[in-house]
Structure formats: structure tokens, C-alpha cells
Amino acid sequence: MTDVAALPRNPHLDGDEAVIRRHQRAVWRFLRWLGADAALADDLVQEAFLLLLQRPPVDRSEPAVAAWLRTTAANLFRSTGRRARAGVPIQSGDLLEAVWHENAGEDGGDGYQEALAQCLQELPARTRQALDLRYRHGLQEDALATALGLRAGGLKTLLRRARELLAQCIRAKTR
């Protein structure tokens, strides 16, 4: 991982705004993946970029800046001690990077989102309904099972199958 160098403050990284626009979505998604809620992700993205602008890395290539931002964001997230939602375990940096690259790719997750939108349309209606209730309306398992008329075991099976179908479909479209 590229380290931070103590360079003079505010050197322009290919135009600060351009750098921020290029990377901010990926950093935000990365934080959400770690388990930050949306408000915390907003805050930490800003802090990470401010650190970048104040003390940019020596290697200013795009992949290096992206990796530096992810590491900084992960450290900031760890230091808050807040995990508002289930996220990926952050102990293993190598695994984190590998899975991130496989899924988010070079576009910070934009392609993954596009594929997800298409794959959702291809799911059976009842499966889409379950995901809709879970992720749009935020129903927890008990309420979700009640709404769908399922037992807890049936709900788990339905959601697991939904995730498998989506993962296969997205993989086929993005890799």
C-alpha cells in the first residue's frame, strides 16, 4: 500500500475536483460495504478526501490513489467504532482488496449496479417482492416472514436463493 508523504499542502492532484468526482462513489460504496450507514459514509468520504488533499501519496497514479483512499477510509471507519449495519469483516486486507476488485472493478461499482438493476427484473415476482420488502422498506426477518406468509426457514431459503440467482446473473453480466 502506498504511504502518505509529507508534501506541501494543497498540491493539485490533476485538479482536485476531478479527482474527487472520479473516486468518491467508489469510496462511499467501499465504506457502505464495510458496514457504515449512509450518514457515516458521507462523513468519512469527506474526511478521507481532505486527508488526500492535505497529504497526498507519492504515487499519484489512479490505482494508487484509489487504493490509498480505500485504506484511509477503512482506517477512519475502524477508528469510529461504529458499525451500523452488517458489513464485511475488515481484518483481512488482502481478501478485502481481492473481493473489491472482482466486484467493483475499475468503475467503482457502477457496472455492478447496472447489472443488478437488470438482474432484478429477471427474478421471479415473489423473489423480487421479498427483496423489495427487505431492502426498500427495511422489513426485518420476523415482519418479512409474516408479510410473505412464510416460516423463518422458508424465508431464509427464499432470500438465500435470491442472492444466489442475483450473484450468478451479475457475474455473467460483469465478468
Partner 1 sequence: MNARDEAEAAFLAAALEERLGALPPPDLSRAILRASRRPGGLRSSGAGASAEAAAVPPRRSALLAAVVLLGGIAVVGGVAIAPRDGVGTAVAAPQEPKPEKAAGPMDAAAHFPLALGNRWEYQEVIGDATRSVEVTVTARVAVDGVVISQLTTIGDGDPTFAFWSADARGVRHHASDSWTIDPMFNACKVEGLVLPSPIGAEAEWTWQTLPPQHFPKGVGGGRRKTPDPIEGKATLLGVGEQVRVGEQTFSCVHVRTDTELPAGSCVEHLYFARGVGIVRRTSKTGEGPETCRELVKFTPAMPRPDRDHVLATALGDAGKTCTWIELPAADDTAWVLRSEFALEPRQDGVRFHRLFGDRIAAFDPASLADFQALAHDEDFGPRMEGLFPQRMTVGLARLCARLRAAQLGQRFDRDNGMSVEIGLGGTKTTLPVSFVAEDGSRTAHEIVVRTRNAVPVAVLFDGR
Enumerate residues 63-102 that contact partner 1 by CB under 8 A.
76-77, 79-80, 82, 85-89, 92, 95-96, 98-100
Which residue of 126, 156, 157, 168 would you call a contact of partner 1, by CB under 8 A? 126
Q: What is the closest distance, in whole angstroms, from the C-beta atom of residue 49 to partner 1 in the complex? A: 5
Q: Does 38 bind partner 1 (CB under 8 A)?
A: yes
Q: Does 132 bind partner 1 (CB under 8 A)?
A: yes
CB atoms within 10 A of CB 109: 19
Which residue of 112, 150, 155, 158 would you call a contact of partner 1, by CB under 8 A? 112
**What's the 3-state SS for the chain?**
CCCECCCCCCCCCCCHHHHHHHHHHHHHHHHHHHCCCHHHHHHHHHHHHHHHHHCCECCCCHHHHHHHHHHHHHHHHHHHCCCCCCCCCCCCHHHHHHHHHHHHHHHCCHHHHHHHHHHHHHCCHHHHHHHHHHHHCCCCHHHHHHHHCCCHHHHHHHHHHHHHHHHHHHHHHHC
Q: Does 6 bind partner 1 (CB under 8 A)?
A: no
Q: Does 58 bind partner 1 (CB under 8 A)?
A: no
Q: Does 17 bind partner 1 (CB under 8 A)?
A: yes
Question: Considering only 21-29, 55-63, 64-72, 150-158, which stretch makes contact with partner 1 by CB under 8 A?
Answer: 21-29
Q: How many residues bind partner 1 (CB under 8 A)?
A: 71
Which residue of 137, 151, 152, 172 would you call a contact of partner 1, by CB under 8 A? 137
